[in-house]
Chains A and B, each alone.
Chain A
């Protein structure tokens, strides 16, 4: 992880904008069309991860009508096929190529330095490399806010989380969810159930049933389908959409949600390539303008006072005065992890493999 921050990103883009404004001649001839390639490992018709990836390149098409031609390959489940197609996209003259998942990162790290005819960007990659930029969302900023809503709305003080796999992104998200809840309701606890599958809606539904049966009354997780929300609605408990707004399906009992918005990464990279000043960068952004997270509308049943609390916390997170992983923090066993007055550094958040105090659930031992 290099020391890139949102501020750094804004500075460079602002500098780029200034440079063009000051009569800098772009290396890119105006009439030329920028060819962009994108490879999705899943179906872009899903309602979660791939959907938001697709929204980003659609934003490109909207921003540069006729100037950008996006070639999209979807459902390329095998990484070997992805590698072959990344090469192919590059030889076909796509100047900017996006990987959409962490699974493609290792391949791109290997390929990008050799395919110098194109620039590469990988969503959810670890760190920028030669000819490869990465961008990832600080999902924990979103779950901290939705946690505030959960902490205020729970009656049993038991929250539930349906996890796909215990990877750091999911772990820091659910940790922050409980920390947000505990910031307004110190009695809150969080029960975690791992489905051990990225997509198995039937099992996710069963997991919701198991959590509700044990008293959880506000549920969240990082689903790609509305099934968790629908199952919660059926049981009469609240659900919260993390990385996805499912209010179109879950009509009554979706409390609140946040969405992913990668458009600034796609727009920024395309602009830089067009202007000939693209550089590999690591971006890890959360809430705020130009960030990768967006809070969405909440249920009308969410009290205005709670909504205001969330707004205030959002502003504090954006301004940097509120850090979700600020000390004192203890892990599940009660062992101190972060001292009072300190905050967990980015590097340790990104590689988090421990659960905060109050989470009931297990992690694989390493």
Chain B
């Protein structure tokens, strides 16, 4: 039975990782006062780009880098429209998702159904004997490194403070000399890069193939997670694993023959995540303290 629990834990970490990347990126973007609803689209393009490059070169690392670049390129498009030209952020974000999804389908046409065969990395092979951790891909470890670094950046550095200030009150931040637009650009690009990695993780590690519908709404879950986690990284991480864990648990429960309707079980991860995060964020003062005061509001000098 303990091996079953270990397998459940590994599967949870594997399933939660794309959400960790995407939600962490979106969290930083929203902390700077920008809502980018295009996460799903950026993930799709990241997934295709990573897969194409990894197929061509056999290098996962290169695939991930190109996915980051692709995500950043799309988020740059978003930033130009929504941050510089002050177009409605929600509308541009939605358009970005539609654009990204279609672009991904188009670019990925010749890769549909192909499977990636990549030898395990040296690092992975060296760690294979460690229980649980050793079974995880280095990209899972990297998500923890990035999480820690992002948390440290947001709460323990001057630049993180500046970014949060821009999200709270861009006018004040501007008045004391912070480059609001530049900071929002950088935050948006960071979000794009992380959405790209999230997509790359799905197509390279999670499934190791490309097909239309691969991302299957995970970008939207990431956007929702940020809100339910009240814009706090720790809760984002917990929420992502909670979602991944609930998904896995319901699949395990189904195959164990638990007599609940499968539709209800499929809905459980969503329900559990909403309920738990709503419960922990029911404190109104905490909520007000954490929501970036200028979220979604355009700023011009």
Contact = CB atoms under 8 A, between A and B. Distances in A.
Given A249-B113, A365-B261, 8 more contacts: A46-B112, A193-B255, A196-B266, A201-B213, A205-B206, A213-B8, A214-B256, A226-B115
Given A45-B109, A200-B213, A207 B262 contact: no
Interface in B195-213: 202, 206-209, 211-213
Interface of A: 42-43, 45-47, 75, 160, 166, 191-197, 199-203, 205-207, 209-211, 213-214, 216, 224-227, 230, 249, 360-365
A199 B216 contact: yes
Contacts of B7: 209, 213
B214 A213 contact: no
B301 interface: no
Contacts of A160: 255
Contacts of B214: 201-202
A362 B264 CA distance: 11
A194 B258 CA distance: 13
B263 interface: yes
A75 B109 CA distance: 12
B254 A362 contact: yes
Contacts of A211: 255
A185 to B, nearest CB: 20
B254 A200 contact: no
A150 to B, nearest CB: 16
Contacts of A194: 254, 262-263, 266
25 contacts: A46-B212, A75-B105, A191-B255, A197-B216, A199-B216, A200-B213, A203-B251, A206-B11, A206-B248, A207-B251, A209-B248, A209-B251, A210-B252, A213-B8, A214-B256, A226-B113, A227-B211, A230-B207, A230-B208, A249-B114, A361-B255, A362-B254, A362-B261, A362-B262, A364-B263
Contacts of A42: 212
B212 A199 contact: yes
Contact of A249 (B115, B216, B218, B261): B115
Nearest to B261: A364
Nearest to B216: A200
Nearest to B110: A45
Q: In which size bucket is the chain B interface?
A: 35 or more
Interface string B244-280: 0001100110111101111100100000000000000
Contact of B263 (A196, A224, A249, A361): A196
Contacts of A47: 112-113, 211
Contacts of B139: none
Chain B interface helix/strand/loop/mixed? helix
B72 interface: no
Contact of A209 (B3, B11, B257, B259): B11
A144 B217 CA distance: 35
A194 to B, nearest CB: 4
A176 B258 CA distance: 22
Interface string B131-171: 00000000000000000000000000000000000000000
Contacts of A227: 207, 209, 211
A166 B264 CA distance: 13
A361 B251 CA distance: 11
Nearest to B253: A210
A43 B110 CA distance: 11
B4 interface: yes
A201 B207 contact: yes
Nearest to A45: B112
A276 B115 CA distance: 46
A46 B206 CA distance: 19
B273 to A, nearest CB: 16
A247 to B, nearest CB: 12
B102 to A, nearest CB: 9
* Those 6 A-B pairs whose CB atoms lie nearest each other, nearest first: A47-B113, A199-B213, A194-B262, A210-B251, A360-B257, A196-B266
B82 interface: no
Contact of B206 (A45, A191, A202, A213): A202
Contacts of A249: 113-115, 209
B45 interface: no
Given A209-B7, A225-B113, A362-B262, A202 B216 contact: yes
A71 B261 CA distance: 42
Contact of A202 (B202, B212, B263): B202
B23 interface: no
B260 A362 contact: yes
